[in-house]
Amino acid sequence: MPAAFSDLGGWAADDPAPALAAFRRSCRVLARAPGGEALGRDGFAGTAAQWAEACAAAPKSPAAARAYFERWFRPYRIVMDGAADGLFTGYFEPEYRGSATRSQRYRAPLYAPPPSGAEAGPSRAEIEAGALAGRGLEWLWLADPVDAFFLHVQGSGRVRLEDGRVLRVGYAGNNGHDYVAIGRVLIERGDIPREEISMQSIRAWLAAHPAEAPGIMNANPRYIFFRAIEGEGPIGAQGVALESGRSLAVDPAFLPYGAPLWLETVDPDGQALRRLVIAQDTGGAIRGAVRGDLFWGAGADAAAKAGRMKSRGGYAILLPKTVSPGPALAVR
């Protein structure tokens, strides 16, 4: 049975207007899908045609956001293997210094994807050793290999060039290897206590151990290729610009891109974080029905929150009222 909006803790206090703006962008993608296309695992979220009417009714006025979602949708709690609890982390859009040409200072390349594609490609260690060198794929250079590594982890970012221009770069593919969290490697080695692991503590360890840092980073064999992003950004896996604090990376094997989700967790400072978000992205570490990565935006504050976020929580999916959830994913 669906939940009532009054059952969603904090619903009345949230301003869903930013989520509505994000949802309208997702609707432009949903509108291009064949009407019979099934959404969500085994089609539990209905078809693209069933979402089309709700999308068409999405208002432009921010003031109408709450009334719109309450009129057109019903919330359902997501449950996986009997549990509605999962892990929620954060990511952000970093900005690093870089150059369009290699120099003594700028020696860490960002690669465009190889023409042959990324499947079964060389590992990170092999690429760092020169497996792709000399093929004309290097198109930007960063000063710090650690910056390049974390740009791979975030999947998108900004590069400020020496002439003052700022280029936005985004995900263009990967080398086909599974993602390995180097934080887990450092925990297993006993280098950082589990309770202290964060992006900030990992960066500090890498900076303090320059001789060991390349080997630790190479423990993650997954390598990301980049492209230039024009206009709004960063761009998520759904192909739309992300909304600060309102776009959530999910596992698309379970949840459909574009779905509104009522998120209930805590922020890195332990404060309640209950808001409407939109599923618009994914990542190598985002696996499972109850698993999310919240996009915090750009800047130092976003970096501080994203790097420290590691919270338990859950969510409800908002489905158009014309959809009766299928049995593939437990919802209540």
Confidence class of residue 329 from pLDDT cuts 50, 70 and 90? low
Q: What CATH code is carried by the domain that includes residue 108?
A: 2.40.240.50
Is the model's pLDDT at 120 over the cut of 70?
no
Output the pLDDT for position 331: 59
Same-domain pairing of 315 and 212 = no
Is the model's pLDDT at 83 over the cut of 80?
no
- Give the end of a domain, one of 206, 229, 252: 229
The pLDDT mean for the chain works out to: 92
Domain count along the chain: 2
Which pair of structure tokens corresponds to residue 164? 């003052």
Same-domain pairing of 80 and 99 = no
Is the model's pLDDT at 7 over the cut of 80?
yes
What is the mean pLDDT of the segment spanning 209-233? 93
Which amino acid is it at 281?
Answer: D
Output the pLDDT for position 330: 60
Output the pLDDT for position 8: 94
- Reduced to 3 states (helix: H, G, I; strand: E, B; else coil), residue 289 is coil
Output the pLDDT for position 117: 53
- Reduced to 3 states (helix: H, G, I; strand: E, B; else coil), residue 84 is coil
Same-domain pairing of 129 and 46 = no
In a domain, 329, yes or no: no
pLDDT digits (tens, 9 = 90+) for 165-197: 999 999 999 999 999 999 999 999 999 999 999
Lowest mean pLDDT among 204-208, 227-231, 286-290: 227-231
Same-domain pairing of 121 and 197 = yes
Lowest mean pLDDT among 15-19, 212-216, 237-241: 237-241
Same-domain pairing of 109 and 133 = yes
Confidence class of residue 138 from pLDDT cuts 50, 70 and 90? very high
Separation between Cα atoms, residue 23 and residue 296, nearest integer Å: 17
Q: Name residue 86's beta-bridge partners.
A: 313
Which pair of structure tokens corresponds to residue 68? 């719109």
pLDDT digits (tens, 9 = 90+) for 61-78: 999 999 999 999 999 999
pLDDT digits (tens, 9 = 90+) for 260-294: 999 999 999 999 999 999 999 998 889 999 999 99
Find the domain containing 146 and state its range: 93-229
Same-domain pairing of 224 and 124 = yes
**The residue to which tokens 């975030």 are assigned:** 154
- Give the end of a domain, one of 229, 254, 286: 229
Is the model's pLDDT at 328 over the cut of 60?
no
Do β-strands 166-174 and 310-320 pair in parallel, antiparallel, or remain unpaired? unpaired
In a domain, 273, yes or no: yes
Q: What CATH code is carried by the domain that includes residue 9?
A: 2.40.40.10
